[in-house]
Amino acid sequence: MVSKTPWTQDATAANSQKSASVTNAKTGLNRRQFLRQLGVSAGTGLLATQSISQVLAANTADKDNSTSLTKDDLPLVQNDASSQTSLTINCITPTIETQLFASSNVGGSDERNQLALDRVACAGFKISNPTITSRQYLRFAGTDAQRASDLQNIATGAIAAPKLLLGVRGGYGAMRLLPMVDWSTLGRIMKERGTILAGFSDVTAIQCALLAKGGMSSLAAPMLYSEFGKINTDQVTCQQFANALSNPNLTISIKDASLTSPQLPSILTIGEPKAVRGTIWGGNLSVVSALAGSEYLPRIKGGIVFLEDVGEQAYRIERMLYDLYLAGMFKGQQAIVFGALSGSGEDSYDKRYDVATVVRQLHKLTGLPIYSGMRFGHIGKKHSFPLGATCQLTPNTVGGYQLSFTDYPTIEADTIHVEGLWQKA
């Protein structure tokens, strides 16, 4: 018999790791540091000295930052008196039952975590477990048992299912949890409650397992630490997050393929583009390809595959796509949709070998229509959307296309105060 007692083991081990790992940085460049050198964090030193009101004022300007990378570790504003008093607070009483799950990296800044918690509360989300943001074991947001318990305790009935399960952060670690969760029971309970699980990046592993074994949809969406804790929260991303949470007939219009590659048409197909309809699934390419051959990757008949990634060179993108192709994951699918493939750079052997070349090769291999430029991924101004829901892809008359979604849970729009997501509560 499965116990209904919430998992609490290994808490001491997790807490003992936190202070030590903060200062244990290695001198070698990881992918995030490499992207920084490419200019991802240019100008962040200036942002760190601005007050919240200055940042908010700058945020209202109509600047096109849609192709800039949004990373987890931008600096926070200093907690000085001017930044505290110059902001007009406008919040609502939080009523949306929300539980966090921290499946991957630890959030490295307590101040950033608190800013994010304040903002989501201001926007109407009543978080039941804010203390998990302080957990740490090695590089992870707690031990494997602790992180799995964020979801497994719902499956066992130890914790009631909330309306929203909000991911804290991506990075790495979610795959370690997949055998530790009863996905079938979790999916059933979430369906009964109408629970929405929201996240992206490394959380793709959670979303794929939930769909593959639990038959439950989720939301490709920004996360607590990654987005709502940033000093300069992206208002478009916040607005589209609230829209996807509350709109039962979500539509997203795409005009071109530039977020995937400016060298591609928005629709790559044989003959005239046609409307297709099916279940959309997938997420981060690195994670989806790593799940190939496992029981946790969905097998969707007549599906539409969505893929995005960041900081991967063209040859690495192609290798991961070949992983999926050779595993037979594109068989029986109706279309492939690419979101942003940010920061791919140039090939060191031949700059002509780029993302567009890779996508065209995939089209040649599969024969499937490929829709590029979906406004989601590791970018600003991203549009949240449901995974595991019914999606219709409809070409328009000017070279773009529209995605229309149905059959997914939502939240009452009047319970969300979206402006709270870019204020300091």
Residues carrying an active site annotation: 201, 308, 378
| The residue to which tokens 């990075």 are assigned | 171
Could you tell me the two tokens for 424? 């300091």
Quick one: three-class SS letters along 65-76? CCCCCCCCCCCC
Q: Nearest to residue 121, comparing CAs of 101, 87, 92, 88?
A: 92
List 220's β-bridge partners, or say none.
199, 385
Q: Is the dihedral of CA 347, 349, 350, 355 positive or negative?
A: negative
Q: Nearest to residue 344, comparing CAs of 319, 375, 310, 374?
A: 310
Q: Nearest to residue 261, comparing CAs of 201, 341, 320?
A: 341
Distance CA 228, CA 109 (A): 13
E strand or H helix at 154, and its extent? Answer: helix 144-156
Q: Nearest to residue 72, comparing CAs of 308, 381, 424, 378?
A: 378
Contact 225, 130 (CB under 8 A): no
Contact 136, 163 (CB under 8 A): no
User: Who's near 54: CB < 8 A, 6+ residues apart?
Assistant: none
User: Who's near 257: CB < 8 A, 6+ residues apart?
Assistant: 264, 265, 266, 338, 372, 373
Number of Cβ atoms within 10 Å of the Cβ of 135: 22
Could you tell me the two tokens for 167? 């991911």
Contact 309, 282 (CB under 8 A): no
> Phi and psi at residue 311, in whole multiples of 5°?
70, 20
Give the amino acid at 327.
Answer: A
